């Protein structure tokens, strides 16, 4: 009986030891997480301190300069032109209106040219042409290339894939792997 009690005590001690090891591992993981959090906050603090220092050094006028507060206020309210110059009214005061966007900044929108067939018809024509050349089918990028050469020079390749997929879903086209094909007639 004494041996059985000793074995139970040893088993309990081993279980307690395993529990202590588990708690130590959890504590180490928590310490590592906290150290990483602390490092992240210290980096953020350093970044903000650097920003404040750079702002004070370069964005503000020297405090001993006459009228520095007025100049700093005027600088803060000025709206810059695209070339970097400030808008001012006739009296040298800052114009706080939002400037208009410069013309020609937006990329040109290339719409489908007038007189071109529908996208579905252009896709079918590209596939018919491929079939006459002995090509089994075409990938959307190849269909787009054909359409660009024949009708629509500024067509985006991303416009063809969805249209061909819809045609395939509507059983207007077939699909073999990644290639779209004309349905068997």
Give yes or no for residue 23 having a pLDDT over 90.
yes
Please say whether the beta carbons of 147 and 158 come within 8 A: no
Report the DSSP pairing between strands 179-181 and 174-176: antiparallel
Q: Identify the structural domains of the chain with CATH numbers, from first to last.
A: 119-181 (1.10.10)
What is the rounded CA–CA span in Å between residue 103 and residue 105? 6
Q: Is 80 exceeded by the pLDDT of residue 48?
A: yes
Which DSSP string corresponds to 4-15? HHHHHHHHHHHH
Report the predicted TM-score, pTM, of the whole model to 2 decimal places: 0.43
Q: Give me 61's structure tokens.
A: 């006028």
Q: Give residue 126's pLDDT band: very low, low, confident or very high (50, 70, 90).
A: very high
Distance CA 180, CA 77 (A): 59
Tokens (6 digits) for 80: 């810059």
Q: What is the pLDDT of residues 153-179, one digit of tens each?
A: 888 878 888 999 999 899 999 998 889
Confidence at 20, pLDDT banded by 50, 70, 90: very high
Query: What is the enclosing helix (H) or strand (E) of 72?
Result: helix 68-77
Strand partners, 55: none
């Amino acid at each position: 009986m004494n041996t059985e009690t000793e074995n139970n005590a040893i088993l309990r001690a081993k279980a307690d030891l395993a529990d202590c090891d588990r708690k130590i591992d959890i504590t180490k993981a928590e310490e590592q997480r906290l150290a990483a959090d602390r490092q992240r906050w210290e980096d953020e603090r350093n970044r903000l301190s650097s920003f404040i220092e750079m702002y004070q050094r370069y964005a503000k006028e020297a405090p001993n300069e006459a009228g520095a507060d007025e100049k700093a206020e005027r600088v803060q309210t000025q709206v810059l032109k695209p070339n970097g110059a400030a808008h001012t009214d006739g009296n040298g005061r800052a114009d706080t209106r939002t400037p208009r966007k410069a013309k020609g900044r937006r990329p040109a929108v290339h719409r489908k040219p007038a007189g071109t067939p529908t996208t579905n018809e252009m896709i079918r024509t590209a596939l018919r042409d491929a079939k006459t050349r002995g090509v089994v089918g075409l990938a959307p990028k190849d269909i787009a290339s054909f359409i660009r050469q024949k009708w629509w020079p500024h067509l985006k390749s991303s416009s063809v894939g969805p249209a061909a997929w819809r045609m395939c879903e509507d059983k207007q086209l077939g699909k073999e792997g990644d290639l779209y094909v004309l349905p068997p007639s």
